[in-house]
Amino acid sequence: MINWKTVALAATATVFASEAMAVEWNVSLWGKRRAFTEHVEKLAELVSAKTNGEFTLNISYGGLSKNTENLDGISIGAFEMAQFCAGYHRDKNPTITVLELPFMGVSTLEEEVAVSHAVYAHPATVSDLARWNAKLLMTSPQPQYNIVGIGEPRDTLAKFDGMRVRATGGIGQAFKAVGGVPTSVTATEAYNAMESGVVDTVAFAPHAHFAFRTIDIAKWWTSNLNPGTVNCPVVVNIEAYDALSAEHRAALDGSVDESIAYYIENYGKLMAKWEAVLAEKGVTKVVIADEEIAKFRAIAADPVRDKWIADMTAQGVPAQELYDLVMATLVDMRK
């Protein structure tokens, strides 16, 4: 005789067990979906597919935190995954600011991934971010920044003097070294800052000029200044990561390389239409003379790097070791 009560209890237990296996993570990004976030979107897709929907990443664009507060949110477990940029709070993540030094010589997205992940894996960096309960998962590789501006084109170092520029990290320091006035307004505030005249120029990678519409009001852009880039990691809450099952952790970790590869492929498509959009909007292409760029490097590159190494070393950061790691990784990539 069938004991239906027992069957019902067993079925209920099975449902509870299935629900217990399901894992949902909240992911804090900002702005809107764009080339800069495609690796996170791809990661969510891959993780869900590999776990048959048992592990899902719920991506929020600004609904969970301000972009400048994502690391703080990770530290208190307000969400399980987030993206942030090192230049937003250099004091909170000093080790990875080595990747934002100006004129580092990184020339491709693949090189940017390699140097970033090498620095992320260094024990000092791991310990640095662990202070915020954060584990570095992957980078968000960006090409060299260039500036768009209003008013008269700034095509010499003399014209950079007094220029108010939206720039963070080492790029901001580089402009400051030649008389510029950097401000670290967030990416989402950049359009309004330029439109209202708070800044004269905005330094972004191409995707951000698209996404945050600075290209819509720009009169000109520098095509070859290439002073550096900004490093923006994706991190996960350590406690949430450690709580994952072995299967779910493998799905997450095992999807990083594919997600990065997808990001790079997608970014290439964006770059292919960059010139066409500039022409369509009537944005003047400004080519900086080689001698001006050489002067910029001489004033900004070595002095900013040397000061960074001295300042970070004084704080107990193995600065020279981290810088040498970046340079060695570039050499290995080019062999």
User: Average pLDDT in the 309-317 region?
Assistant: 97
The answer to whether residue 8 scores a pLDDT higher than 50 is no
Lowest mean pLDDT among 9-13, 41-45, 53-57: 9-13
The answer to whether residue 319 scores a pLDDT higher than 50 is yes
- Closest by Cα among 237, 256, 229 to 97: 229
The answer to whether residue 13 scores a pLDDT higher than 60 is no
Strand partners of residue 135: 236
Lowest mean pLDDT among 3-17, 63-77, 87-101: 3-17
Confidence of residue 19 (pLDDT cuts 50, 70, 90): very low
Interatomic CA distance for residues 25 and 239, integer angstroms: 12
Interatomic CA distance for residues 326 and 312, integer angstroms: 16
- Contact between residue 111 and residue 48 where contact means Cβ atoms under 8 Å apart: no
Burial of 246 (0-12, 13-18, 19+ CB in 10 A): exposed
Residue range 200-248, pLDDT digits in tens? 999 998 888 988 999 999 999 999 999 999 999 999 999 999 999 999 9
Region 146-229+273-333: CATH code = 3.40.190.170
Tokens 């970790």, located at residue: 253
Residue range 138-188, pLDDT digits in tens? 999 998 889 999 999 999 999 999 999 999 888 999 999 999 999 988 888
The answer to whether residue 12 scores a pLDDT higher than 80 is no
Interatomic CA distance for residues 134 and 220, integer angstroms: 39
Tokens 């996404």, located at residue: 211
> Can you read off the two tokens belonging to residue 325?
């790691």
3-state class of 214 per DSSP? Answer: helix
pLDDT in the model for residue 335: 86
- Closest by Cα among 279, 157, 161, 134 to 221: 279
Topology of the domain covering 23-142+230-270: D-Maltodextrin-Binding Protein; domain 2 (3.40.190)
Strand partners of residue 29: 61
For residues 11 and 55, the model is more confident at 55
Q: How many CA atoms lie within 13 A of 61 on its CB side?
A: 11
Interatomic CA distance for residues 190 and 167, integer angstroms: 10
**Could you state, in order of their start, the residue ranges of all structural domains in the chain?**
23-142+230-270, 146-229+273-333
Confidence of residue 40 (pLDDT cuts 50, 70, 90): very high
For residues 18 and 44, the model is more confident at 44
3-state class of 8 per DSSP? Answer: helix
- Give whole-number Cα distances, 292 to 37, 283, 296, in Å: 34, 22, 6
Residue 294 carries which side chain, given as an amino acid letter? A
The model scores a pTM over 0.95: no
Strand partners of residue 148: 202, 221
Confidence of residue 2 (pLDDT cuts 50, 70, 90): low
Q: Rounded to 5 degrees, what angle do the CA atoms 90, 96, 102 make?
A: 80
Answer yes or no: same fold for 23-142+230-270 and 146-229+273-333: yes
- Contact between residue 34 and residue 67 where contact means Cβ atoms under 8 Å apart: no
Taken in order 60, 65, 67, 72, the sign of the CA dihedral is negative
Residue 311 carries which side chain, given as an amino acid letter? D
pLDDT in the model for residue 186: 86
Residue range 109-139, pLDDT digits in tens? 999 999 999 999 999 999 999 999 999 999 9
Residue range 265-290, pLDDT digits in tens? 999 998 888 888 888 999 999 999 99
